[in-house]
Structure 1
Amino acid sequence: MEKQASQERAARSANGIVFVLIGVAALIAAVFILWARLTPAGLLLALAAVAGTVWCWAGLYILQPNQAGLLMFFGSYRGTDRADGLRWANPFYAAKKISVRARNFNSEKLKVNDLRGNPIEIAAAIVWRVEDTARAAFDVEDFEAYVLTQAEAAVRHLTSSYAYDNLGDQELAGAADEITLRSGTDEVGAALRAELQARFALAGIVVVDAKLTHLAYAPEIAGTMLRRQQADAVVAARSKIVQGAVGMVELALRGLSDRQLVELDDERKAAMISNLLVVLCSDHDATPVVNTGTLYN
Structure 2
Amino acid sequence: MDVTREASSRPDSWPAAPPGPPQRGGATQLSRAVADAVAKPLIKARPVPVHDELDADGGPATEPPGGASSSQSRASRRPPRIDPTLREHQARSLPGWLALLVLLTALAGVALPLVRTGVIPQLDALPDLRSSGTEITAPSVAAASAAGLVFLATLAGLLVNAGGETRVLTRWGRYRGTVRRTGLLWVNPLLRRRRVDIRLRHWRSEPVQVADRTGTPIVVRLLIVWRVKDTARATLAIAGHEDYLREQVHAVLTRTASALPCDSNSAPGPALRDGQWFADELTRALAAEAAPAGIEVYSVQPLALDYAPEVAESMRRRRVAELDASLRTVLVDDAVEAAALAVRRLERATTHELDEAARSALMEQLLVAFVAPAGVAASVPPPAVRAGRKEGRPA
1:234 to 295, 311, 324: 324
List per-residue Cα deviations over 1:74-100 (Å, max 9, x = no partner): 322110001122221111112111111
1:155 and 2:253 are equivalent in the alignment: yes
Question: Does the 8 A contact of 1:116 with 1:163 survive in 2?
Answer: yes
Counterpart position of 1:205: 295
Query: How far 1:264 moved relative to its partner?
Result: 4.3
Counterpart position of 1:76: 174
Task: Give distance in 2, aligned partners of 1:73 and 1:16.
Answer: 22
**Match of 2:89, SS?**
coil
Counterpart position of 2:213: 115
1:185 and 2:275 are equivalent in the alignment: yes
Equivalent residue letter for 1:284: A
Structure 1's 285 and 23: CA in aligned 2 closer, same or farther, altered over 3 A?
farther
Structure 1's 39 and 103: CA in aligned 2 closer, same or farther, altered over 3 A?
same
1:253 to 320, 330, 343: 343
Equivalent residue letter for 1:179: P
Counterpart position of 1:4: 83
Structure 1's 61 and 281: CA in aligned 2 closer, same or farther, altered over 3 A?
same
Counterpart position of 1:95: 193
Task: Give distance in 1, aligned partners of 2:137 and 2:309.
Answer: 89
Task: Give distance in 2, aligned partners of 1:96 and 1:123.
Answer: 32
Equivalent residue letter for 1:194: R
RMSD: 2.7
Counterpart position of 1:173: none
Task: Give distance in 2, aligned partners of 1:84 and 1:282.
Answer: 78
Equivalent residue letter for 1:119: P
Question: Does the 8 A contact of 1:127 with 1:207 survive in 2?
Answer: yes
Unaligned runs of 5+ in 2: 1-52, 55-81, 117-128, 385-395
Q: Describe how 1:264-283 pairs up with structure 2 within 5 A.
A: 264-283=354-373
Task: Give distance in 2, aligned partners of 1:23 and 1:283.
Answer: 96
Counterpart position of 2:150: 52
Structure 1's 42 and 156: CA in aligned 2 closer, same or farther, altered over 3 A?
same
Count of paired positions: 284
Equivalent residue letter for 2:217: P
Question: Does the 8 A contact of 2:158 with 2:185 survive in 1?
Answer: yes
1:164 and 2:262 are equivalent in the alignment: yes
Bigger Rg, which one: 2
Task: Give distance in 2, aligned partners of 1:119 and 1:51.
Answer: 66
Question: Does the 8 A contact of 1:19 with 1:56 survive in 2?
Answer: yes
Task: Give distance in 2, aligned partners of 1:122 and 1:137.
Answer: 30
Structure 1's 13 and 221: CA in aligned 2 closer, same or farther, altered over 3 A?
same
1:144 to 229, 239, 242: 242
Question: Does the 8 A contact of 1:71 with 1:80 survive in 2?
Answer: yes
Structure 1's 247 and 95: CA in aligned 2 closer, same or farther, altered over 3 A?
same
Structure 1's 233 and 288: CA in aligned 2 closer, same or farther, altered over 3 A?
closer
Identical-residue share of aligned pairs (%): 31
Task: Give distance in 1, aligned partners of 2:110 and 2:209.
Answer: 71
Larger mean CA deviation between 257-266 and 184-193 belongs to 257-266
Equivalent residue letter for 2:331: I
Question: Does the 8 A contact of 1:124 with 1:155 survive in 2?
Answer: no
Unaligned runs of 5+ in 1: 170-175, 290-294
Counterpart position of 2:164: 66
**TM-score by structure 2 length?**
0.65
Task: Give distance in 1, aligned partners of 2:109 and 2:316.
Answer: 84
List per-residue Cα deviations over 1:99-137 (Å, max 9, x = no partner): 112333333323322111222222322222211111111
**TM-score by structure 1 length?**
0.84
Query: How far 1:271 moved relative to its partner?
Result: 3.2
Question: Does the 8 A contact of 1:279 with 1:286 survive in 2?
Answer: no
Select the structure that is richer in helix.
Answer: 1
Query: How far 1:180 moved relative to its partner?
Result: 1.1
Task: Give distance in 2, aligned partners of 1:91 and 1:187.
Answer: 51
Task: Give distance in 1, aligned partners of 2:254 and 2:204.
Answer: 14
**Match of 2:218, SS?**
strand
Counterpart position of 2:5: none
Larger mean CA deviation between 244-253 and 42-51 belongs to 42-51
